[in-house]
A and B are shown apart, each in its own frame.
Chain A
Amino acid sequence: MKRRALLLASLPLPALAATERLKAGVFEPAQAAPEFALKGSDGAALSLARFKGKLVLLVFGFTHCPEVCPTTLATLAQARKQLGPEAADVQVVYVTVDPERDDINRIRQYLTAFDPSFIGGTDTPDTLAAMRKRYGVVAEKIAPKQGNAYGMNHSTSVWLIDRSGKLQAMMPYGHPAKDFVHDLRLLLAAK
């Protein structure tokens, strides 16, 4: 009994708590999230290194998205509100899968409607495709049934990157804000 207690005491508890109880899917062991270099909607260069020390919630989408992106971004905005002061350590990064229509201005206006702290990213189609490949993200154009208004089929999950830049988890689409708050609190506590 005593030996078991000693063993438990020797475990890295914050890390254990963060990986074992998340509502999101967890990578074991967590590895460095792929770095990227895009044009940010705030006018500055957008890279992962820029947010070291913060939790990054990485989302892929497009501003003409009729359902998934608005739902996800509204959920993340709600989660940040529920976090209170801790939200200062959480950065939402929204990377477009539709650079043809999503320029920096459009992304900025779109994101501001959800939460002015959200930062978007775009770049050339090749740069964005290379980034998606490194994250295992799928995106493809859906031909319009009529007119020019094409759609995009894309991965709908949110990637959770910890303060040290490690890809810890992936939250599938559809989880409520309280699940994000739950996981963000655990990850924020695991310093």
Chain B
Amino acid sequence: MKRLLWLLPVVVLAPLAWAAFAPLEPASRDELFEIPKGTYARRMAGDKVEILPDTIHLTLGLNDQLLLRNHDEVPQQFGPVLIMPGQSFRLPFEVASTYSFACSAHASGQMSVVVAPNPAAGWPRLQWRWQHWKNVYKTETVA
């Protein structure tokens, strides 16, 4: 048993090293938000339906395309644009910055998109992966 102890640091450090240095390869660069069918009817019935948050966080090279899709049967103001039924709007970002849009769908009248630079290898990438896994875990737990 004692002879195998030297393996312990390897077992711990190898995944950390992978998480810090392995390239990030997303399956899709779209950050998708969808308006489900019946949203207008729910709003008319008094339901408070909020789909887009006030601030959306994106990362260059990973999820740097905002994709908004309207599945409802009426046009919907979705962020900065009016989207027709069955229509999508895909907005790419190429520069890390904070973008503000006037938006009547938010109580504040504004929506922000914060685009972060692609995380460099090492500590920033490790932090990004950790945050990403936390979000995935949270989403799956809620679902």
Contact = CB atoms under 8 A, between A and B. Distances in A.
A66 interface: no
Contacts of A147: none
Given A28-B87, A153-B109, A136 B92 contact: no
A31 to B, nearest CB: 5
A25 B89 contact: yes
Interface of B: 66, 77, 80-84, 87-92, 94, 97, 99, 101-104, 109
A63 interface: no
Contact of B81 (A25, A134, A154, A156): A25
A27 B77 contact: no
A28 B109 CA distance: 25
Interface string A12-34: 00000000000111111101000
Interface string A136-155: 10101000000000000111
A172 interface: yes
Given A31-B84, A136-B82, A138-B104, A174 B99 contact: yes
Interface of A: 23-29, 31, 134-136, 138, 140, 153-157, 170, 172, 174
A29 B90 CA distance: 11
The 8 closest A-B pairs by CB, nearest first: A136-B82, A25-B91, A138-B102, A28-B88, A155-B102, A138-B104, A136-B77, A26-B90
A134 B84 CA distance: 11
Contact of A138 (B66, B97, B103): B103
Contacts of B102: 138, 153-156
Given A157-B80, A174-B99, A25 B90 contact: yes
Given A138-B102, A154-B102, A156-B102, A28 B90 contact: yes
Given A25-B91, A27-B88, A172 B77 contact: no
Contacts of A26: 89-91
